[in-house]
A and B are shown apart, each in its own frame.
Chain A
């Protein structure tokens, strides 16, 4: 069986030249705003999510994972729900008392 032919390594110079040859990509369709919107509820928030989470006996990597999921969810939906609420909901589902 013939070995799969490996694509030749190219250089940055060649890659930029190829980009130039390609026509400019078409305008992307408007998408819902992602993460740059300030949550309306931010005002007057008593404690940050990090401060609140630091009081819980949950592994740091799990908290980071939940926070990241919360950020993704907000970005995807354009929601302004505070991160703390999303994380607390996930922790509740895991049976962690928040």
Chain B
């Protein structure tokens, strides 16, 4: 079930770490704020990268964290998700890079699961597993979460990228975003500088900003 212009629960999910899921979550949060939407960030990844970035880049956006003293992972995830939904109609969740209980709870109930992948075959394989997990965990719903694969850190001119894109469109049980996020230095720079990609100087990040905007429109349907 996709998001609506009024809100939605979006989870950026990958089993592999370092897949740009936090960068995409940060971009979605920033974009929604710029569109005048009420949004809350839900940082379930124990690395807390989104939390640190948010404190510097978007300090006025509310943040929800799971209760670290609650050792019932499923209960902690449900508590945090329900709390976030009380705060704002848009929830952007950044779960840990795994197929843990916490991630399974998220994909079971999210409206949209955004799955980043490079053209690397292992990463694409894990992206496929995320999509299958969302279908499996959402089997009791009227329809599973919308699953959208986003190619990141790629050079679309390469044979590897073209092969991966064709494979994904033909074989994976997920939408493939038309927008790709090319390998650009502006992405890691915005995360390490603690700045939104939209606040980076255009001289450095104009192309990345154009891609970010197109991707947000494609995923969220607003703007």
Contacts and interface: CB of A to CB of B under 8 A. Distances in A.
A65 interface: yes
Interface string A1-29: 00000111110110111111000100000
B147 to A, nearest CB: 15
Given A19-B105, A24-B74, A65 B171 contact: yes
Given A12-B110, A16-B81, A61 B74 contact: no
Given A13-B82, A68-B125, A18 B140 contact: yes
A60 B162 contact: yes
Nearest to B9: A12
Given A12-B9, A12-B91, A61 B166 contact: yes
Given A19-B78, A24-B74, A67-B121, A8 B142 contact: yes
Interface residues of A, number: 31
Contacts of B111: 12
Interface string A29-46: 000000100000000000
B108 A35 contact: no
Given A50-B160, A60-B163, A61-B163, A16 B82 contact: yes
Contact of B126 (A7, A24, A35, A62): A35
A51 B182 CA distance: 21
Contacts of A18: 109, 140
Contacts of B121: 49, 64, 67-68, 71, 83
A52 interface: no
A7 B139 CA distance: 13
A90 interface: no
Contacts of B164: 64
B64 interface: no
A54 interface: yes
Contacts of A83: 121
Contacts of A64: 121, 124, 160, 163-164, 166-167
Smallest CB-CB A-B distances: 7 pairs: A60-B163, A7-B142, A64-B163, A15-B109, A12-B9, A61-B166, A64-B167
27 contacts: A7-B142, A7-B143, A8-B142, A10-B1, A10-B142, A12-B8, A12-B81, A12-B110, A13-B85, A15-B141, A16-B78, A16-B82, A17-B82, A35-B122, A50-B160, A60-B163, A61-B163, A61-B170, A62-B163, A63-B159, A63-B163, A64-B124, A64-B163, A65-B167, A68-B124, A68-B128, A75-B125
